[in-house]
Structure 1
Amino acid sequence: MKICRFGNNQLGLVEGSLVRDVSAALDVLPAHRYPLPGHDPLIADLDKVRARIEAIKDKAPTLPLDQAHLLSPVANPGKIIAAPVNYVKHLQEVLDDRNLHHDNQINHIQRAGLFLKAPSSLVGEHAGVALRKLDRRNDHEVELAVVIGKQGNNIRREDALNYVAGYCIGLDITIRGPEERSLRKSPDSYTVLGPWLVTADELPDASNLELSLKVNDEQRQKSNTADLILGVPELIEFASSFYTLQPGDVIITGTPEGVGPLVPGDVMHASIERIGSLDVKVRAAA
């Protein structure tokens, strides 16, 4: 199933060039009062929502996909967990270019560890990216994004895929400079997720997917998730050894070589095999 959020927080089922408005399926979600849960309720009850979608989809109103204002498919991630330098060629690329490392110590991922991005940085495809610090270089990074489906702690890699709700395309936008990654990667709109959630049953193996990114039709990044240093199971094992993973948590798995600068007016076209593609406009922050 391809599940999207669009418009005024509506729920959609993507079928070819159409979106079915299945927002009525949200009625199966439990009502919450303060304090709100520390997870995403839609992802936590995804099985119930999917069953309801199946029951109502044939009578659901439709609209053309290209007219749907797509939001992030995950509304309330408790954590956005990111994997630095998780492709061998990108590691070498960063080491070789001072404009990328700014004299920061760069290590392979097993030594560098993971880092967190602010959930407030999250937007969907149609919100676009609003660049800050225009006197500095802002770079694009295309990544496979993994959405966690159930709570887990100290998960073994052999069991890790049982904790995956689905996959999206992720864009990790980065201000270059000497500060910690979490600061430079967490401005508003610097995490793009979309265009929809492809549920894990449709994509049981994400270890061999072509991914690419173009800027204004210029090919910048092109690789395959087979080249990840730590694959999805290993990343889930690594992350859950430090954090309890919750439904709706997002792991962005790292970017391949070819990162490059963005300026206002650019348009990014990102795609990942068996997931889809998204087009994201770049502007200056107000």
Structure 2
Amino acid sequence: MRLGLFDGGRLGLVRGASVLDISAFAGEPGPAGRLDALVRRGITEIPNEVVASASALSIDDVVWDAPLPRPGKIIGAPANYYDHVDEMPDTATILDWGFFLKAGSSVIGNGGTVEIPYTDVPTHYEGELAVVIGTGGRDIALDDAWNHVFGYTCLMDITIRSSEDRSTRKSFDTFTPLGPTVVTADEVGNAGDLMLRLDVNGVQKQSSSTSKLIYGIPELIAYASSVTTLEPGDVIATGTPAGVGPIVNGDVVTVTIDTVGTLRVDVSDRRAIPHADRPGPRTALHR
């Protein structure tokens, strides 16, 4: 199945060139939206009678929202491709760093706008495959990890290159574009060998396969769940390959992943300020 939120939070099931409105089946949305509610209910297929009675829209007329607008947790995998490690200032990998968390409020959907926060600190793109957890748990065994995946979506882990902690540098509002839809695990097939490509203004910047991950999807799930209980609707960003670079005002960024889809965002610096003018340094008391 290919599922997403559209036109202000309605739940859509993609069938060919149509989107079937199955919002009523999902019920009233919580803070994390109707798709999250479906995942938490353990729904892995839509009944035939729901599909037959759903109203259909042309996929060209649908405006996609973020499929999971407020995930409970967004877990990030730093330095999880060796070719990306090679372009970093040190040689540490996910084996050294562990994982980090991003704020759920940083999520935006397809067609949204990434807002650069600072005029004098670079903001970088990072294209990634995201795993949506279906069945949660603690201490998930490696050989059982695939059974805890609901599906997959495209993600951009937008990052500023400054001295702050990773979770700060990656948690600004608009810094986690997600979508446009979630494709269930059965439809994706082998997520351990998917091609990923990121373009800026139509120029390829990143291209790699998830087969080159240091921690593959089962390892990420097993490791993360050894630290924190995974819950339905949590998102694991699997890491980014080589080719990371800056984005500036007016850029258009797309990430495309085989069988999963294409996510597109714009970039704006309309809210950017000098890094030294951020609230902390001006108001904090110094000893």
- Do Structure 1 and Structure 2 share a fold, with TM-score over 0.5? yes
The RMSD of aligned alpha carbons is 2.0
- 1:164/1:239 Cα in 2 relative to 1: closer, same or farther (>3 Å)? same
Distance in 2 between the 1:77 and 1:58 partners? 30
Instruction: For residue 121 of structure 1, report the CA deviation from its aligned partner.
Output: 0.4
Of the candidates 52, 58, 78, which is equivalent to residue 64 of structure 1? 58
Asked if 1:281 corresponds to 2:277, the answer is no
Distance in 1 between the 2:204 and 2:154 partners? 17
Listed as ranges, the matches of 1:178-257 within 5 Å are 178-257=163-242
- 1:73/1:56 Cα in 2 relative to 1: closer, same or farther (>3 Å)? same
Distance in 2 between the 1:153 and 1:268 partners? 36
Instruction: For residue 204 of structure 1, report the CA deviation from its aligned partner.
Output: 3.5
Listed as ranges, the matches of 1:1-286 within 5 Å are 1-27=1-27, 40-47=36-43, 50-52=45-47, 54-95=48-89, 107-286=92-271
Counterpart code for 1:44: R
Instruction: For residue 285 of structure 1, report the CA deviation from its aligned partner.
Output: 4.6
- In structure 1, list runs of 5 or more residues that go unmatched: 96-104
- In structure 2, list runs of 5 or more residues that go unmatched: 272-287
SS in 1 for 2:46: helix
Distance in 2 between the 1:136 and 1:56 partners? 50
Structure 1 contact 4–70 (Cα < 8 Å) conserved: yes
- 1:235/1:197 Cα in 2 relative to 1: closer, same or farther (>3 Å)? same
Query: Please, what TM-score do these two structures have when normalized by structure 1?
Result: 0.89
SS in 1 for 2:187: coil
Distance in 1 between the 2:184 and 2:245 partners? 30
Per the alignment, residue 278 of structure 2 pairs with: none
Paired residue total: 269
Distance in 2 between the 1:73 and 1:14 partners? 13
Counterpart code for 2:137: G
Distance in 2 between the 1:285 and 1:161 partners? 42
Distance in 2 between the 1:222 and 1:152 partners? 33
Q: Deviations over 1:233-277 (max 9, x none)?
A: 000011001000000000000000001110111111210001111
Structure 1 contact 21–60 (Cα < 8 Å) conserved: yes
SS in 2 for 1:235: helix
Distance in 2 between the 1:285 and 1:56 partners? 44
- 1:55/1:284 Cα in 2 relative to 1: closer, same or farther (>3 Å)? farther
Q: Percent identity?
A: 45
Instruction: For residue 17 of structure 1, report the CA deviation from its aligned partner.
Output: 2.7
SS in 1 for 2:86: helix
Structure 2 contact 149–185 (Cα < 8 Å) conserved: yes
SS in 1 for 2:227: coil
Distance in 2 between the 1:214 and 1:14 partners? 25
SS in 2 for 1:5: strand
